[in-house]
Structure 1
Amino acid sequence: MTEVHSKNTVILLDDNDLSPYLNDSDWTRSPESHKLTAYGDNNNRYKGGLGDGSTDLSGKYDNTAVTGPRAVIEPLIGTNVELVYRPEGTGTGLPERTVEVLVGEYKETHPVADYVMWTLKLTHSGDVTTTTQT
């Protein structure tokens, strides 16, 4: 097994590369669960349902007027766009996940003794396509 360093992660939101501004991201997939416990059972019984997922991004604020995170993200809030997630970076044969996302809460934090930071919540909408890059 080979370790993969997170520093190579690449994330594109609506064809905009947010990677230079990111310092953390997560990819979550989870199924709905349906309780099927019946009389006589001593423990709960479950079956999986529809899949669900989300991605949270966070990073350093950059006031670049056209390409910075605020300039890219704020116009997308409340819309559905494409998310491309490359956990091992960009390159032939490396994995890539693509999914439509609802762009949700964008938040900036302004600590008195530190840099301005931001977070973004994305909700997956529909099927995830997993491929290898060519």
Structure 2
Amino acid sequence: MATSHGKKTVITVATKDISPFTKTSSYERSADVHDVGGYGADDKVKAGGQRDAKFTCGGTYDNTASTGPRNALHANVGTTMAVIRKVEGTGTGLPQDAFSAVLTKYVETNPADDYVSWSAEFEISGAITTTTQA
């Protein structure tokens, strides 16, 4: 069984590498399902529909970084942005997902007893291009 460590993940948003500030990310694919059965059927018949996808990420806030998550995301809520996700890191033959996504939410959390953190939620718009890095 081959595995890959999460620490290798690379995420860029609008060409800004936010990987050093990111501790967690999630990529979710789903699809509409339609009931296409008719009268007299004992069992439902299903057909797939349009696909959908979401992407979330978050991590530790860094107030010294000019390309950190606040600078890359804060002013762009509601904007469609280019996102590249390299789940196994950068390297020849490794997978890469590229997509456009609307930044729907950016959150900064300020606990009294811990470091400031951030999170972001994206709704993917259109096709996801999955390639192998050259």
What's 1:8 paired with?
8
What's 1:99 paired with?
99
How far apart in 2 are the matches of 1:42 and 1:69? 52
CA RMSD of aligned residues (A): 1.1
Q: Which runs of 5+ in 2 are unaligned?
A: none
The TM-score with structure 2 as length reference comes to: 0.95
Moved over 4 A (4+): none
User: How far is 1:66 from its partner?
Assistant: 1.8
Cα deviations by residue, 1:45-91 (Å, 9 ceiling, x for unpaired): 21100110010001001112521211111122111111101000001
Q: What is the identity percentage for the equivalent residue pairs of Structure 1 and Structure 2?
A: 40
Amino acid at match of 1:78: G
The TM-score with structure 1 as length reference comes to: 0.95
Amino acid at match of 2:131: T
Q: Which runs of 5+ in 1 are unaligned?
A: none
Residues paired across the two proteins, number:
134
Alignment map for 1:1-134 (pairs within 5 Å): 1-64=1-64, 66-134=66-134
User: How far is 1:44 from its partner?
Assistant: 2.3
Does the 8 Å contact 1:64/1:71 carry over to 2?
no
Does the 8 Å contact 1:96/1:131 carry over to 2?
yes
